[in-house]
Amino acid sequence: MQRRNLLKAMLTAGVLAAGTAGGYAEETVKIGLILPMTGPFASTGKQIEAAVKLYIAEHGDTVAGKKIEIVLKDDTNVADITKRLAQEMVVNDGVKVLAGFGLTPLALAAAPVSAQAKVPQIVMAAGTAIITERSPFIVRTSFTLPQKATVMGSWAARNGIGKAFSIVADFAPGHDSEKWFKDSFTKAGGQMVGEARVPMANPDFAPFLQRAADAKPDAIFVFVPSGQGALFAKQYVERGLDKSGMKLIATGDLPDDDILNGFGDAALGMITADPYSAAHPSAKNVAYVAAFKKANPAMRPNFMSVGGYDGMHVIYEALKKTNGGTDGEALLAAMKGLAFESPRGPISIDPATRDIVQNIYLRKVEKKDGELYNIEFATVEAVKDPDKASRP
Ligand code: PHB
């Protein structure tokens, strides 16, 4: 009799606990956010974390009747840790979506987990073309380096740059940048006079800058990952290359909005190709930059941040379409073909490749209100990843 009363009391307590959430227990959808929050690429993690928080603050933490819970973990830019965290999040924490992935090796390490568990993997930062092909559950909201490098290469050849020397970081997105810059630049009539790959760990750009200067190109084309731009700029200026008459052209990863002001006036005139500038003159972006800075006074949103912000939008829109259902196949189907306005401009998820389709802007570093910005002056619309488009 006593045991029965106890059981009854426990059940009643359970019902009451559920009752406090408005009559029904509100189900939670956990999103596992894996990012480099420490180390040389911590800026990518911090930008994306800030953007994810901003998205939730603006759109609420409930979607299609489900409460959204972010589980953030630092992979410290070590691929084995990314993979272990992804496994633990799926198996132990029951996350229904994996997101983040600050660099290519980290995104690739998690791909087998998303493929086997059939859990959507939203790549918010990494940019090597092949990433989306490593798991049918990957959707990318960042960019591909071939998107940026091809636009830079063909613009350069058509705008008075006859000879170029490329300097890229020696890992997959750097190799993509080198190949696709060269391809579009030479097809449009340009000539490569040299190529150099700089080691990723503790990079020293000085000897490579010297080699480039000795080859006397009209321009140096550069890809360095977000987080290395400040050191590149410092060594470029130290060697006096800003006064050499050689032009500096790059993907937007170099004059990253978060650090551009630190480059000083030596950066004025640098031309780059990228999907995002904090100076993009749309109402949506003006509001985004203002809200981001209000929540994070020491930061300016960069191109990594919009990958995080738009990645959250893809997750929210997919959950709306599935009425809160978290089946991986259903979420993927809902994500394919999504099209919406991002702070960077119009974007969509290519249903065939699950990769992002977006405008790539040509920009020039100029001073505005006493600060340095990448000011857009031309647009190539709705660019698909050229690498996948080049293969059957
Ligand atoms: C990458 O690892 O794919 C990556 C990292 C930083 C960038 C771009 C690409 O700025």
pLDDT (tens digit per residue) in 70-112: 999 999 999 999 999 999 999 999 999 999 999 999 999 999 9
Q: Determine the distance separating the centroid of ligand 1 and the alpha carbon of 37, expressed in angstroms.
A: 15
Q: Determine the distance separating the centroid of ligand 1 and the alpha carbon of 24, expressed in angstroms.
A: 43
d(C-alpha 68, C-alpha 320), whole Å: 12
- Identify the residue whose C-alpha is closest to ligand 1 atom 2: 103
CB of 48 shorter than 6 A to ligand 1: no
Ligand 1 atom closest to Cα of 171? 2
Using the predicted structure, report yes or no on whether residue 2 has a pLDDT greater than 90.
Answer: no
How confident is the model over 12-16, as a mean pLDDT? Answer: 43
Q: Which of 145, 232, 305 to mutate to test the pocket of ligand 1 (most atoms within 8 A of CB)?
A: 145
Q: What is the mean pLDDT of the chain?
A: 94
pLDDT (tens digit per residue) in 195-239: 999 999 999 999 999 999 999 999 999 999 999 999 999 999 999
* Amino acid letter for position 386: P
pLDDT (tens digit per residue) in 312-370: 999 999 999 999 999 999 999 999 999 999 999 999 999 999 999 999 999 999 999 99
Q: Determine the distance separating the centroid of ligand 1 and the alpha carbon of 227, expressed in angstroms.
A: 9
> Dihedral of CA 226/58/379/357: which sign?
positive
Ligand 1 atom closest to Cα of 251? 10
How confident is the model over 284-311, as a mean pLDDT? Answer: 98
Confidence at 391, pLDDT banded by 50, 70, 90: confident
129, 139, 386 from 390: Cα distances, Å: 11, 20, 6
> Quick one: pLDDT at residue 392?
75
> Quick one: pLDDT at residue 17?
43
**Can you say whether residue 154 is alpha, beta or left, with left for phi > 0 and alpha for psi between -120 and 50 degrees?**
alpha
Go through 104-143 and write b for each residue having 16 or more CB atoms within 10 A of its CB, e for each that does not. bbbbbbbbebbeebebbbbbbbbbbbebbebbebbbbbbb
Confidence at 11, pLDDT banded by 50, 70, 90: very low
- Give the closest residue to 28 by CA, choosing from 326, 329, 318: 326
> Quick one: pLDDT at residue 23?
44
> Quick one: pLDDT at residue 7?
45
d(C-alpha 310, C-alpha 360), whole Å: 16
